[in-house]
Structure 1
Amino acid sequence: VPVVQMVAGGQVDFGLSGADEVLTARARGADVLPLFAVFQTSPQAIMTHESRGAKGIADILSSGGTLAIEPGLPYAAYLKKKYGFNKVKVVPYDGGVARFVADKDFSQQCFITAEPIAAKRKGSDPAAFLVASEGFNPYVVVVITRAALWKENPERVRAFIRATREGWRGYLHDPARANEVMAKLNTSMDAETFVAAAEAQRPLIETPETKEKGLGVMTRERWETLAKQLADLGVLEKAPPIDDLLVAAL
């Protein structure tokens, strides 16, 4: 679903995106503003088998085997530029963990809150390492709206941010009720997986900064760093001005 396009085009007033998608959309002239960042630490990770003895992503990329990853992802470009992919066989990522479970020399991209849990439930030995630890840490699950809506009705936007913050605060305090609802919507996941996912994502959402400034907080420095990284990777022609981007968030 082209969420950014739907928000920018006025089909919906709010949506969820990633910080890198917001910046690339803005560079194309899309009318989108970030409001609230759920994940302060990106859950994007590389997962390998514990039996391989890797201590980090550098070890995975230097020790051979197969790596399933979408080459168009900004964090894939970042890792390729930092370490190179010449010592691994890169194959497309097709979702799921079946190939991972079947092959001890197989590594793959993942969300640290999802695929490692699924692989472990299938009897495998996953070890996952956050891409954020390598220096690429965009906000993930970012609530967005249109700049036009912010100008027309800022109080509605503020009310939505407040409601979002309260919803996440309630979920983090006790995810049981939300897990019950999500289990009905996603019958492929069992109750234990929902519990494990809630615990895995908690430290990525709640940080010392959110305890001081509130859930969803975003900083100019983080956005400026990401914009520069995307420009260095060639994803953006140049880093855009950040102040205009954060008029609603700050």
Structure 2
Amino acid sequence: MATFDRRAFLRTSGLAGLALGLAACGDNGTTTTTSSSGGGGGFGSVKLQLSWKKNVEFAGEYFADTNGYFKAAGFSQVELLSGGGSGTSVESGLATGRCWAGLSAPTITAPAVLQGAPLKIVGATFQKNPFAIISLSKNPIEKAADLVGKKIGVQDSNELVWNALLKANGIDAAQVTRVPFQSDPSMLTSGQLDGYVGFVTSGPVNLRMKGHDPAYLLLADAGLPLVAETFTVTQETIDNERDKLKAFLTAEIKGWKDAVANPAKAAELAATVYGKDQNLDVKEQTEEAKMQNELVVTDDAKANGLFTMTPELIEQNISSLSKAGLTIKAEQLFDLSILNEIYQADPSLKLS
């Protein structure tokens, strides 16, 4: 798994007005998937930009490829463009036509939209953002109020989301000692920190594998709900390629249903096939897959289908963005009508 600072940076750099350049998705590391047409759709080839390097975070995409769902949906080719490094952002890639769809986050897409980019979020893989306050069970931070009087590691790239968390909970920054942090968990285990801002999908797993007993508080459960790994496309795609987008999202739903059902296989695909050049540990990836399933499968996702967002969740995201200094209307950023049509046409796609 990538270090917290880079991953977090890609999720929040848009807050600093850098959305068009820093959610890196490099030109290298593409995976060409289905190579022959099928399914009768005739949709040809598309490129999907991932938000990060190829690890288990994109298990649903791997299953959609491996199990032939993209092919069955009518795509002759799907390229998974690996993120990371210093490359073109999803938002910039969409604006220039370099990619047809991308996986991003509201904190990155919203600034681009506010700068005039005609983009929309049409679904959210992670119903809850992975950002969390990571601590140890012997000194747990279980609620936002527990932050008061504590020493918390916060990277510079996470400053705005950190400030938004404090604002959401009415905590004065002077009540918490913020410590410079560069993703080194030993600062926590040695007692230099009481907690740090990190990713719940990797931080607790890494600590547990090193013999520690971690605790965590999701920012989504502490007054700052935000989705993540959001499917982002241009308004033109929604207007002129709606059937193609439906076919693509249908294949993605099938892939993620498989990923949720089989974390071990998801880890195997990540470590030995799609991310085989990333030196991933299958055991660690399996545990991370289990952790991320908790972010993907919520009660609402069970009731309404993967990737869907209730009106309440949408409004919560808009409110969270406002706390981070981004004032945007729901209709400017989200369009969940495509997913609604997909599930209305085929309710069997919902989780059983």
Which TM-score tier does this pair reach, normalised by the shorter chain?
0.7 to 0.9
Aligned residue identity for 2:262? D
Q: Deviations over 1:165-193 (max 9, x none)?
A: 11100111113333112113265442221
Residue of structure 1 in register with 2:149 after alignment: 63
Partner of 2:100: 13
Q: Which residue of 1 aligns with 2:291?
A: 200
Counterpart Cα distance in 1 of 2:159 and 2:117: 20
Q: Do the aligned residues in 1 keep the contact of 2:124 with 2:228 (CA within 8 Å)?
A: yes
Question: What amino acid sits opposite 2:266 in the alignment?
Answer: A
The residue that corresponds to 1:52 in the other structure is 139
Q: How far has the Cα of 1:22 moved from its partner?
A: 2.2
Query: Structure 1 pair 177/103, CA: closer, same or farther in 2 (3 Å)?
Result: same
Q: Does 1:175 align with 2:263?
A: yes
Tell me, yes or no, if the aligned pair for 1:71 and 1:77 is still in contact at 8 Å.
no
Q: Which letter maps to 1:225?
A: Q
How far, CA to CA, are the matches of 2:301 and 2:93 in structure 1? 29
Q: Percent identity?
A: 23
Are residues 239 and 127 of structure 1, via their aligned partners in 2, closer, same or farther at CA, if it must alter by over 3 Å? same
Question: Counterpart of 1:103 in 2: which secondary structure?
Answer: coil
C-alpha distance in 1 between matches for 2:297 and 2:320: 25
Q: Which has the higher contact order (CA 8 A, sep 6+)?
A: 1
- Residues 1:24 and 1:196: Cα distance change in structure 2 (over 3 Å): same
Q: Are the counterparts in 1 of residues 151 and 179 from structure 2 also a CA contact under 8 Å?
A: no
Give the C-alpha shift of residue 161 in structure 1.
0.6
Give the counterpart of 2:199 among 111, 118, 126: 111
1:73 deviates by 5.2
Give the aligned partner of residue 133 of structure 1: 221
Instruction: Give the alignment's TM-score, normalised by structure 1.
Output: 0.87
Change (3 A) 1:94 1:244: closer
Distance 1:62 1:71, change over 3 A: farther
User: Which aligned pairs between 1:89-100 and structure 2 lie closer than 5 A?
Assistant: 89-100=177-188
Q: RMSD between aligned alpha carbons?
A: 2.4
Which runs of 5 or more residues in structure 2 are unaligned? 1-23, 25-88, 341-352
Shift of 1:67: 2.3
Task: Count residues in correspondence.
Answer: 247
Pairing partner for 1:41 from 128, 132, 150: 128
DSSP-derived class of the 2:307 partner: coil
